[in-house]
Amino acid sequence: MAPQPQLDQEMAERYGIPVELLREGMPSFLQKAADGEVILGDYVRVATSEGLEAALKTMATAPSSSTTTAPKLSCYIVTYLPLEESSKIRELMQQLQEEQGLPNIVVRNMEVLEAKEDMLNRLRQNIQDVEALIDWLQDLAAELQPANPAGRPPLLALKVQYTLAKIDSDDLETAKEMLRGFPGISSNLGNIGLEDTEDLADHLKEHYPLDLQFQVPDDMDSQILAALSVTDWLDSMDLINDSPKLLECVRRTITDLGDRLASYQELAIAPSLIGAAPADFEEH
């Protein structure tokens, strides 16, 4: 971070205001002091948590006229304190309350620290909301992935087994209806009679040997309908999702939201006048 007077000037130029406005309410002897520099024994201007820690070390090693109470460090928070630093300063204050023999921190312009904390909480809520949305979209993207054909229900094997079962029970009409979509068979179905069922069964076993390795339970009709249901769903989802390129849209949105997260995080660590004073942000 730049030296304090220089950063004051940079912030003033950035926001188009007099540098004196940034130092309003701060004792004159602190207005051009460096971050963490202890002035007059117990005053410090704070622009970072590191500066406050440095001031505390200075106070801890300085001779004290009192042996019964810990020294107090009077702090003035700069109005352009990065939002994330407010959280670190608060944690440091709480730590000091739990430990004895360390200097106590007294923030003289507490309204600035509290306004910074409020805005940091708002920013963190935005980050949480975007992270939750990214998680949801990532789950959606996983669901939109094209189905693996190898993982689809073994529909053809079910049809072959069902057809063989119908042939075995002499229900040739149902078997022939099932075979209408089979390559190399449907064109000859009209000439097949009951006396040809054995040849038909052999033909199926010859042309679809791999499918017949599938073990079909007794409720073949229910299994076929279930397989058709799953296949129809996967085919429909592939068609709908591929047509408007929904998956690509989701992935692009995830990338855009990732960029937004990065912007939020940069905003949290950058010096700015966000939270410089208490304000009702709901009215703006």
Residues 117 and 155 placed together within one structural domain of the fold: no
Residues 112 and 33 placed together within one structural domain of the fold: yes
- Residue 261 located in a structural domain: no
Q: How far, in Å, are 16, 162, 172, 236 from residue 222 at the CA level?
A: 75, 11, 20, 21
- Residue 63 located in a structural domain: yes
Q: What is the pLDDT of residue 97?
A: 77
pLDDT band of residue 127 (cuts 50, 70, 90) is very high
- Residue 263 located in a structural domain: no
Q: What is the pLDDT of residue 194?
A: 62
Residues 112 and 172 placed together within one structural domain of the fold: no
User: What CA–CA distance (Å, rounded) separates 187 from 98?
Assistant: 89
User: What CA–CA distance (Å, rounded) separates 232 from 132?
Assistant: 32
User: What CA–CA distance (Å, rounded) separates 22 from 76?
Assistant: 12
- Residue 185 located in a structural domain: yes
Residues 11 and 96 placed together within one structural domain of the fold: yes
pLDDT: which is higher, 79 or 221: 79
Residues 272 and 224 placed together within one structural domain of the fold: no
Containing domain of residue 156, as a range?
Answer: 149-242
Looking at the predicted structure, is the pLDDT value of residue 67 above 60?
Answer: no
User: What CA–CA distance (Å, rounded) separates 151 from 122?
Assistant: 45
- Residue 198 located in a structural domain: yes
Name the domain count of the chain. 2
- Residue 143 located in a structural domain: no
On the CB side of 13, CA atoms within 13 Å amount to 6
User: What CA–CA distance (Å, rounded) separates 192 from 102?
Assistant: 100
pTM for this predicted structure: 0.70
Name, of 55-59, 106-110, 280-284, the range with top average pLDDT. Answer: 106-110
